[in-house]
Amino acid sequence: MAESFDVLTPLVTPFDADGNLDVAGLESLIRHVVAAGVDGIVPCGTTGEFETLSPREYRTVVRTATETAPDDCRVMVGTAATNVPTVHDRMAFAAEQGADSTLVVPSYYGGQASGAGNEGFFDAVLADAPLPVYLYNIPGAVGQDLSVETVATLAQSDAVAGLKDSSGDLPYATAVMNQTPGDFSVYQGHDGLFVPSLVLGGDGGVSALSHLLFDDLERAGTAVASGDVEQARAVQRDILSPLSEACAEFGFAPTVKALLADRGIIDHATVRPPRDSLSPDAVESVTGML
C-alpha cells in the first residue's frame, strides 16, 4: 500500500456565458483548489478542454496557472499535440513560465501506432525536454493504449518522471507499477479507482473530483496509508465512485463545471463543442450527489 500520496487537480478551463476564456474565473478556481490543499494543478489537460483552446488562449491559461499557483503547489502542464515540434514549443513555453513538469499523450491521430512508433514519438519528444515528462495513457480519447511495454521502456529515461493512467484498467496500472523503477510515479486518472490504485502501490491521483472533494480524497488516501481499508472502501464506494460514474456518463468537464457553478466557485458551466452542457435534470442529479 502507498505510504504517501499526491492529489493533483486537472483544472477545468472556465469560460463565460459566450464561451470566451474567463481568466479571472481561472485565477479564482486555482485559489480555491490550492486553499483546499491539493498538491498540484494540471492546466491544459483533457478536463481543461485543451484541444478547444487557441494558441493564444493556451498560453494565457499556462501563464495564469504558473503565476497564480504558490511555490508549494506543483504545476504539471498538458503539452499534448499530434506533432513533435508543437509539443516541444509547448514544453518550452511551460518551462519559461515556471512549470514543474509536463504531461504528454501519444500522438492521437493516425490510427493504432506500433509500439516502435510510439517509442519513436516519445523519444523525439523527450530529446532535450526542458522539464520532467509524465506519460499520459487515455485510450478513450487517443484511440489506443500506451502499452505497458512501451511505458516500461520509456521509464528508463531520466526525462520521464511517471504516468497518469486514465484507462480505467486496474490490471494495466498494476502491470506498469510492477515493470517500472521504484521512483517512477503512477498517478490514477480515474476517480473510480483511486483507492484500489493506492492499495496496489500507486502514488496518488490526478483527480477531477478534487475540484470539490479533496477532503474526501485525502481521507481515503490517509485511510489506505494507515491500513484502514474499511474506511477507505467506504469513501470510495459511497462518495468517489458514484460521482466518477456520473462524470463518465455526462463528461468530466461538463459535470465538474456544473458542480462548480452550482457551488458558486465559477460563474458559468459553459463548455465548448463538441462537449455539451448538462441538461437541467442531469445537473439536479449530480448536484444532489454532493
Q: So which residues are the catalytic ones?
A: 136, 164
Q: β-strands 133-137, 160-165: how paired?
A: parallel
Residue for grid cell 481561472: 26
Please name the residue that has the C-alpha cell 462524470. Answer: 247
Helix (H, G, I), strand (E, B) or coil at 186: strand
Rounded Cα gap, residues 99 and 131, in angstroms: 8
Q: Which residues of 55-83 are buried (b: 16+ CB within 10 A; e: fewer)?
A: eebbbbbbbbbbebbeeebbbbbbbbbee
Query: What is d(CA 210, CA 8) in angstroms, rounded to the nearest whole number?
Result: 7
3-state helix, strand, coil in the chain (%, to 5): 50, 10, 40
d(CA 125, CA 289): 41
Rg (CA), the chain: 18
Output the CA torsion sign for 228, 204, 48, 15: positive
If residue 7 lies in a helix (H) or strand (E), which one and from where to where? strand 6-9
